[in-house]
Amino acid sequence: MPINRKHRIELIFGMSAVLVAGMASAVLDKTNISYHCPLSLLLLMVYLMWLFASRRRFPQKDMRRILTVSAVLMMLWNIVDTINTEFITAGSDLSRQIWYWYYLPMVMLPMLLMMAAFYIGRTDSYELPRKWFITFIPVLGLAVGIGTNDLHQLAFEFENSSMKRYRYGPLYYCAIGILVFSVVGILFKTLRSCSKRQFSRSFMLPAAITALGGIYFISYRNTDDPLLFQRMYDFPDFTCLFFVCFWESLVITHMLPSNADHKEFFRASSISAGLVDDDLEIYLRGENSPMPTKEQLIEACEQEVLSGSKVLKAQPVMGGYFYWFEDISELQKLNMRLEETRSYLEEEHVMLDTANKLEESRRRTAEQNKLYDSISKRLNPEFESLSKLLNELPADEDGFRAVMKRAAIDGVFIKRCSNLLLLAGSGDYIDSGELGLSVGESLGYLELSDIWGQADIPKGRELPAETVLFMYELFIGAAKSAIDDMHAVMVTLSLDDGIDFRIELDCECQPVKADAFSRAQELGGSIEIVHEDGSTYVIFKAKEAAVS
C-alpha cells in the first residue's frame, strides 16, 4: 500500500528541514555568524516528529519504547553537541571529554534500533527475551572505556597532547564494529521478513542510504579537504540522521511493516464493520459495509439485532463502540434444511410409531391368542364335563337342581382357573390373595349344595404361578370327589416355613387322583392324605418355595 498523505507531508517537511540545515551549515561554515542554535532547533523538530510518527506507526509497546529512547538519545546528543560547539572553547579539557562521550549514543543507537527490528513480524504482545539486554553491558563498557581515554589512550592516541593529530585505537574500531554489526543485523532481520519480489523492488533505497553512510564514515578522517556532506553535517548530526533516514527507508519500502495506513486498509477491506463514537456517530467503516441506523446501533449495544440475513453486534471500546455484521444466510439455509429434515423425521417417527403400535398390538394379540389357546387346551376336560352335564339334564326337579349346582361349581372353577392362567401368562408369580379369592368364591358356590366352608389364606405374598394353580386345582378336585358325602370343608395356607396347604373334609374318602402326586413332586413338594376321626386331611407341602 502506498504511503498516505500525512506520511508524505512528514517526509517532505523532514527532508526539507534536513537539507536547509545542511546547506546553511555548508554556506555559513567559513563565516563568523553563529548558526548552530537555530539549525539545532530545526533538527530537533525532525527528531521529535520522527518520535511521534514512530509511536503512531508501530503497535508493539516495547518497540515504541525502544524507538522513544532512541529519539530522546538523538535529541540529547544534538543539544550537547550544540552547547559544546557554541559555548565551550574548542580544544579544552571539557570539550575533549564531551567529544569522548559522543561515542555513548553512537554505540547505543544502533543497538537499540537493532533490538527494535526484532519485533518485525511479531504479535502485539511479543516481548523481547531479557537475555538480549545483556548486550548493553559490553556496549556501556566500551562507552566508558572511550570516555576515560585520557587514562589509557586505547581509543585515541594523541601526538604531543594535541587533539588535531591523533591515531585511532582498538576501542574506536570496536565502536565502529558495533555500528556496522547493528546496521547489518537490522538489514538481515528485515530481509528475512520480506519476500524475494519485495526485496528486488525495495532494497535499493536502504542500500543507497547505507552506502552513503559508509562513505561518510570512511572519509570522516579527511579533515584537510572535507566532502560537501561532511561540511553540511557534523559527525553527531550525520549519525542521528543516518539512522532516521535508514529506518524511514525501511518503512517507505514496506520492508518494515507499520500500521500507519490502518484506516485506509480498513476502508478498502471487505469487512462488514465500523467504529462509532460515544454519540453513535460513524467514525470509520468499510466501503462495502452496510450503514446501520442510529436506532439499530442503540439496540445493538444492548443485544443482537437481526436485519434480514445479517446480525448486527456491538462491543464497547475506548472512545465509542465497534460494530460488525455477521452474515447468517448460510445458517438460515441450514436451519431451513434442518426444519425440513425435522418435519420429515417427525412424519417418519409418526409412521414408525404407528407401525410399532400395530406390531405391538399384533404381538399382544398373538400372545393373548396363544395364551387363550393354552387356557382352552388346559381346561378342555372341564369344558367337556360341563357340556356333558348341561346336555344330560334330568327331567325331575330335584335332579335338575343337583346337576345345576354341580354345573355352577364347574363354572366357577373354569372362571377362576382361567383368571389364574391369565395372571401366570403375564408373570412367573401370583399373589397369594388371588388363591384366597378363588377358593372363597368356590366355597360360596358349595354352600348352594349345603356344604359349609371356610378358608384362611393370607394375601400379599408372591408365590410361583404353577404352584398357586396346582393348589386351587387340588382344592377343587378334593371338593368335587367328596361333594356327595361331606357337609363342611376347611382350607388353610401357612407360609411361615415354605408352603403348607391343608384341606380338611368332614368325611372319609380318597379325594386326590393319582396324577396329583406326580405333579406335586414336579413342583418340588409332596401330598399327604390323613384319615382321622371320620375326617380326611389333604396336606400339600413344598419345602423349596419361592416366597418373596
* Contact (Cβ atoms closer than 8 angstroms) between residue 209 and residue 7: no
* The model's pTM: 0.51
* Cα separation, 276 vs 274, whole angstroms: 7
List the one residue out of 425, 428, 417 whose CA is nearest residue 369.
425
∠ at Cα 217 (214, 219), nearest 5°? 105
CB atoms within 10 A of CB 134: 9
The CATH code that applies to domain 379-542 is 3.30.565.10
Cα–Cα distances (Å) from 478 to 53, 471, 475, 538, in that order, read: 118, 11, 5, 8
Residues 154, 172: Cα–Cα separation, whole Å: 8
* Packing angle, helices 103-117 and 61-87, rounded to 10: 160
pLDDT score, position 548: 43
87: burial class by Cβ within 10 Å (0-12, 13-18, 19+)? exposed
The DSSP element (H or E) to which 215 belongs, if any, is helix 204-218
Q: Divide the 548 residues of the chain into consecutive groups of 10 and give the mean pLDDT of each group.
A: 68 82 77 76 86 80 84 86 79 78 81 80 74 81 84 78 71 84 80 60 75 76 62 77 81 69 64 80 77 81 79 83 80 85 86 84 70 63 66 71 72 76 78 84 80 87 85 82 84 86 86 83 86 87 60
Are the C-beta atoms of 442 and 409 separated by less than 8 Å?
Answer: yes
Give 542's DSSP letter.
E
Distances (CA, A) of 81 to 166, 236, 352, 512, 533: 21, 7, 95, 137, 147
Least Cα distance to 471 among 509, 407, 416 occurs for 416
Taking a C-beta distance cutoff of 8 angstroms, is the pair 35, 24 a contact?
yes
How far apart are the C-alpha atoms of 411 and 446, rounded to whole Å? Answer: 12
Rounded to the nearest 10°, the torsion over CA 159, 164, 166, 172 is: 150
CA pseudo-torsion sign 384, 466, 421, 365: negative
Chain position carrying cell 393319582: 514
Contact 295, 311 (CB under 8 A): no
| C-alpha Rg value of the chain to the nearest Å | 58
At residue 43, the 3 state secondary structure works out as helix
CATH number of 5-260, picked from 1.10.3470, 1.20.1740, 1.25.40, 1.20.1070: 1.20.1070
Number of residues that make up the chain: 548
Cα–Cα nearest to 471, from 508, 507, 509, 442:
442
C-alpha grid cell, residue 314? 456491538
Nearest to 289 by CA among 271, 301, 305: 271
Residue 517 contacts residue 547 (beta carbons within 8 Å):
no
Q: Contact 239/106 with Cβ under 8 angstroms?
A: yes
Phi/psi at 287 (5° precision): -65, -35
Same-fold call for 5-260 versus 379-542? no
What are the angstrom distances between the C-alpha of 253 and each of 91, 124, 190, 204, 332?
43, 22, 11, 9, 46
Question: Do the bridges between strand 429-431 and strand 310-317 make them parallel or antiparallel, or are there none, so unpaired?
Answer: unpaired
Q: What amino acid occupies position 299? A: E
Could you list the beta-strand ranges (E) of 1-56. none
Domain ranges in the chain? 5-260, 264-327, 379-542
Give one DSSP letter per residue of 419-446, joined into a string.
HHHHHHHH-SEEEHHHHHHHHHHHHHHH
CA 197 to the chain's CA centroid = 40
pLDDT for the residue numbered 201: 62
Give the count of beta carbons closer than 10 Å to the beta carbon of residue 17: 18
Q: Supply 210's cell numbers.
A: 547505507
Q: What are phi and psi of 370, to 5 degrees?
A: -65, -40
CB 427 within 8 A of CB 548: no
Closest C-alpha to 189, from 112, 115, 106: 115
**What nine digits make up the cell of 517?**
402326586
Place of cell 500500500: 1
Q: Which stretches does DSSP call E strand in 256-386?
A: 273-277, 282-285, 305-307, 310-317, 320-327
Report whether 132 contacts 115 (CB < 8 A).
yes
Report whether 116 contacts 132 (CB < 8 A): no
- The C-alpha atoms of residue 253 and residue 248 are separated, in whole angstroms, by 9
